[in-house]
Amino acid sequence: MKLRDKVVIITGGSGGIGMCTCEQLASEGAKIVIADINIEAAVALEDRLNQLGYEAKSIGLNVNEFDETQKLFRFTIDAYGRVDVLVNIAGGSAGVFLNTAHSIFSDSTQERWQEIFNVNLFGTMNCIRSVINHMINRQTGKIINFASIAGIIGMQKAAEYSAAKSGIVGLTKAIAKEVGPHGINVNCISPGVIGTERIHNMPKKMVEDWRAGIPLGRIGQPGEIAKMVAFLASDDANYITGANIPVDGGLTLNPNF
């Protein structure tokens, strides 16, 4: 129980990776605040975790709105009195909560760029900004951001997503330098192709092409990302900060991806 009694906010907590992360950290003893734009799914996960004997609460959250991230912070303080760990999973490039779609850069629109930057880079910034002074005052805390291998190697038909995720990597490193003297660790995870529902619903040929380019020869599982989050949230990672850790089966080693 490496996270016993740690208070952890997880944004995007009801999605594929988010749900596994909530389950993993709860099993390690953490008190979980599930924050998600899909409040029905967040409440369902809260109920399930509590029925299993864990401690969890849920709240609706649109990370695009700074006022909502402030409400999330106050909700957590009212419930548990502090924030030990912030996990910024909310984001993405497709789904029912995004109005725009992938395209090649020459066909891209300002609307698409703004939407992707809002939900990824600016959303991450809003959540960090809501807790950072609290962590500075306590002289402790861990922040775990989510980028993507797209932010490392670039992804065709996703220039805006690649740029936003690369921005999260830079944001992680800059904030890590600022708050390191206050005992706060700030790190980033860059998942590769992970077997969430969204991936399973993609064309089989596309997913198979991705799998063929992964040195380990398989698609990753959400639980493998969750275990990395649990490690970075624990005291075992106290001397790691400013890192961007690919969890991708070696996909970033493939020059043709």
Distances in whole angstroms, Cα of residue 113 to Cα of each of 66, 97, 123: 19, 15, 14
The DSSP 8-state label assigned to residue 250 in this structure reads: T
- CA-based Rg of the chain, rounded to a whole angstrom? 17
Distance CA 36, CA 39 (A): 6
**Helix ranges (DSSP H) in the chain:** 16-27, 39-51, 66-80, 110-117, 123-138, 150-153, 159-179, 197-200, 204-212, 222-233
| 161 classed as catalytic | yes
- In this structure, which amino acid lies at residue 179? V
Token digits for 81? 């009195």
Helix (H, G, I), strand (E, B) or coil at 35: strand
Question: Looking at 54, 80, 161, 239, which residue is catalytic?
Answer: 161
> CB within 8 A of 24, min separation 6: which ones?
223, 226, 227, 229, 230
In this structure, the strands spanning 141-146 and 184-191 are parallel
Token digits for 176? 């890590």
Task: Supply the residues annotated as catalytic.
Answer: 161
